[in-house]
Amino acid sequence: MVWDACARQVVQDAVDGKINRFRASVRLNVSVRTVQRKMKEYRERGERCFEHGNKGKVPSNKVDMDAIIRCIEEYDLSGCNFTELARLLDEYQGIPISSSCLRKRMFGEGILSVKCKMKTRKKLKKILRLMREQEQELDRQRAQVLSALEAEDLSGVWVHPTKPRSKYFGERLEMDASSYVWVKGLGKCTLHVCIDDASGFLLGLWLEAEETLHGYYKLMEQVLATYGIPLSIRTDRRTVFVYNKKGESDPAKDTMTQFAYACSQLGVELLCNSDPDF
């Protein structure tokens, strides 16, 4: 219960005999026993009985951010994301902290993860600008972060966190198509491309008027004839690869297309997702 000014006055009136403990329990919406205990504490300790027992004490689970910052600077851990940093702090420094707590505390200090997304950067930039308007001046750390974020806007350059490459050649292929005036005089054409994720090697090209199943079949023909069967292929969610029934959002109920069926017959895992971070 929160012992605000009104609640304290009720207890004081009960101690002074202005009201009985039963009326006090009704006003405070607590049991009579609670009123009796608080009346006894009030006689012994006065106003201090309304203060929480932990007031003024340092919480046992308090995180020493200064110690964490010192560890980052001393051992050059600035390249770690928050999940890895939390593991290293717990394992080698004996500082138990969850990655979510670390992320929240660092964000409050104006420090971003090396793998943060554009949405997070925009959110922090908005907060820092608001703080600058209200406080007129930011500390050195926050001012440097805001300056870097604003420089990204001016240059138009932002390095998006990338996914790690596959370890082996042929472990995962990337397939996509792009519409552009690739050849003068032909107008816009669609170039179908297949790239090995591990090495970045170009494995196949095919030009069509539009993005078609035939174009991807030709890519697969080039890959199979030259390099063999890959382990998996990663693509977007075009209807060439997966057909999602209208009004159906469950991926498990997607209909297998001809291309997906061909991949399944070859034992190739087809990974489809429209998320650019996929």
- Across 243-273, b (16+ Cβ under 10 Å) vs e yields beeeeeeeeeebeebebbebbeeeebebebe
Fold for domain 173-272?
Nucleotidyltransferase; domain 5 (3.30.420)
- How distant is the alpha carbon of residue 114 from its chain centre? 12
C-beta separation of 166 from 232 below 8 A? no
Q: What percent of the chain has pLDDT over 70?
A: 82
Mean pLDDT (whole number) for 3-12: 85
C-beta separation of 271 from 234 below 8 A? yes
Q: What is the pLDDT of residues 103-153, one digit of tens each?
A: 888 887 777 776 777 788 888 888 888 887 887 677 777 777 777 777 765
Three-state DSSP at 172 gives coil
Strands in the chain per DSSP E: 173-180, 189-196, 202-208, 232-235, 242-243, 255-256, 269-272
- CA angle (209, 272, 160) in 5-degree steps: 90
How many angstroms separate the Cα of 35 from the Cα of each of 6, 18, 111?
14, 14, 48
- DSSP single-letter state for residue 3: -
pLDDT at position 80 is 80
| Alpha carbons 124 and 119: distance in angstroms, whole number | 9
**Antiparallel, parallel or unpaired: β 173-180 and 232-235:** parallel
For the cut 80, the answer to whether the pLDDT of residue 242 exceeds it is no
Q: For residue 50, give the nearest of 12, 84, 90 by alpha carbon.
A: 12
Question: Could you tell me the end-to-end alpha-carbon distance of the chain, in angstroms, rounded to an integer?
Answer: 48
Q: What is the pLDDT of residues 206-232, one digit of tens each?
A: 999 988 889 989 999 999 999 999 999
Inter-residue long-range contacts of 262-265, CB under 8 Å, 24+ positions, other chains counted:
262/217, 262/220, 263/233
Q: What is the pLDDT of residues 53-110, one digit of tens each?
A: 667 676 666 777 788 888 888 888 777 888 888 888 888 888 888 888 888 888 877 7
- DSSP single-letter state for residue 162: P
For the cut 50, the answer to whether the pLDDT of residue 278 exceeds it is no
SS (H, E, C) 188-252: CEEEEEEEECCCCCEEEEEEECCCCHHHHHHHHHHHHHHCCCCCEEEECCCCCCEECCCCCCCHH
